[in-house]
């Protein structure tokens, strides 16, 4: 978190009060978003997102594993986030334990939105991560309202399924880390392709079946990410709330509500961060802001993903390249209904 002088803090608060932030944004504006697809060719799907100076990368890998007993026909998913020791303002001073705990908290937040484990919970992320080490490397169970169609990942009932591993790296943090991770994860999942699997049975019914993989790109299946949420962070500064707080703005902020919102505006997860707390009425107000902003943000991000994929297909390659026009799409979100107060 940035260290500001008293004058700098007063300047930041006054700008937010007048809806003219230090970088020229209004209270409900996002910073420019740059999206790249296919940045890691060895992954099944990957994306890099830069939200202002915040820089994150997400890679999705596909492996065959065993389904859970609770969902024998479904696949499984797990998230892991690694935070670079030099990611933020405290670079050089953050301990391994601090960066590891931050990664656990961020990974749990992603899983909460993707797996539907606590779609209406408002528990603190730190409570979920207390005492956990490498906690995001576990296989998490999904709820009934999982954002992905987990049945699409099933292969053999009770025997085999696809296991999706979402690995994210935070290279630099300057506010809005969860928001950037949500965008990168949705884009990487959209870019992911699942190989075709054929179950081959031998002449003896007692022999185990063999799995034959077809890695022909034309036979691969895309994931349905239409319900995958983005995370919208609504931050309280004085009497006002803002979207996409920068690192400097977080230094003068109070509580932050992180809301996982899907394309229909449904809330799929929520957690509190920052400093202080908010009452129920304020939480509802901040959630309403997040729901409206989330719908517009998903539309802008999906538009850029489609353009990047079309450009990659036209080039005949699997890498999506860099889409700087995202900045225009996101900044086009006007101060309409649900804007930050």
Q: What is the pLDDT of residue 118?
A: 41
- Domain membership of residue 339 (yes or no) is no
- Domain membership of residue 1 (yes or no) is no
Q: How far apart, in whole angstroms, are the C-alpha atoms of residue 127 and residue 108? A: 11
- Domain membership of residue 314 (yes or no) is yes
Domain residues for the domain of 32 are: 6-331
- Domain membership of residue 60 (yes or no) is yes
Residue 104's domain is classified under what CATH number? Answer: 3.30.230.70
pLDDT, tens only, 273-289: 888 888 899 999 999 99
**Range from 180-184, 247-251, 283-287, 330-334 carrying the lowest mean pLDDT:** 330-334
Q: How far apart, in whole angstroms, are the C-alpha atoms of residue 187 and residue 305? A: 7
Could you list the beta-strand ranges (E) of the chain: 33-37, 45-51, 54-65, 76-83, 154-156, 160-172, 193-194, 196-200, 210-214, 221-222, 230-237, 240-243, 255-261, 267-274, 321-323
pLDDT, tens only, 235-248: 999 999 999 999 99
Report the pLDDT averaged over residues 266-279.
87
- Domain membership of residue 340 (yes or no) is no
pLDDT-derived band at 119 (thresholds 50, 70, 90) equals: very low
Into how many domains does the chain fold? 1
- Domain membership of residue 338 (yes or no) is no
- Domain membership of residue 341 (yes or no) is no
pLDDT, tens only, 288-325: 999 999 999 999 999 999 998 888 777 765 555 555 54
- Domain membership of residue 320 (yes or no) is yes
Note the pTM of the prediction, 2 decimals. Answer: 0.84
């Amino acid at each position: 978190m940035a260290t500001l002088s008293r004058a700098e803090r007063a300047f930041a608060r006054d700008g937010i009060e007048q809806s003219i932030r230090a970088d020229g944004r209004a209270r409900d504006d996002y910073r420019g978003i740059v999206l790249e697809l296919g940045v890691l060719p060895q992954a099944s799907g990957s994306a890099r997102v830069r939200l202002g100076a915040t820089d994150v990368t997400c890679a999705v890998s596909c492996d065959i594993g065993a389904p859970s007993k609770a969902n024998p026909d479904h696949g499984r998913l797990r998230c892991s986030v690694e935070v670079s020791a030099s990611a933020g303002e405290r670079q050089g001073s953050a301990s391994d334990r601090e960066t590891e705990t931050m990664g656990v908290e961020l990974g749990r937040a992603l899983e909460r939105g993707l797996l539907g484990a606590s779609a209406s919970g408002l528990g603190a992320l730190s409570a979920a991560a207390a005492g956990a080490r490498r906690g995001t490397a576990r296989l998490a169970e999904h709820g009934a309202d999982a954002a992905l169609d987990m049945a699409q990942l099933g292969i053999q009932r009770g025997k085999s399924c696809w296991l999706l591993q979402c690995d994210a790296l935070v290279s630099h943090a300057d506010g809005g880390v969860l928001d950037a991770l949500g965008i990168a994860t949705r884009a990487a999942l959209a870019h992911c392709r699942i190989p075709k699997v054929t179950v081959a049975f031998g002449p003896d019914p007692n022999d185990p079946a063999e799995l034959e993989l077809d890695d022909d790109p034309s036979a691969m299946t895309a994931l349905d990410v239409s319900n995958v949420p983005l995370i919208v962070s609504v931050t309280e500064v004085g009497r006002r709330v803002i979207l996409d707080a920068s690192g400097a703005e977080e230094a003068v902020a109070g509580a932050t509500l992180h809301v996982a919102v899907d394309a229909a505006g449904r809330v799929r997860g929520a957690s509190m961060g920052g400093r202080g707390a908010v009452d129920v009425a304020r939480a509802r107000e901040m959630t309403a802001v997040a729901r409206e902003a989330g719908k517009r943000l998903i539309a802008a991000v999906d538009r850029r993903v489609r353009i990047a994929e079309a450009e990659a297909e036209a080039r005949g390659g699997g890498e999506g390249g860099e889409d700087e026009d995202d900045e225009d799409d996101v900044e086009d979100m006007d101060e309409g209904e649900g804007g930050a107060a």
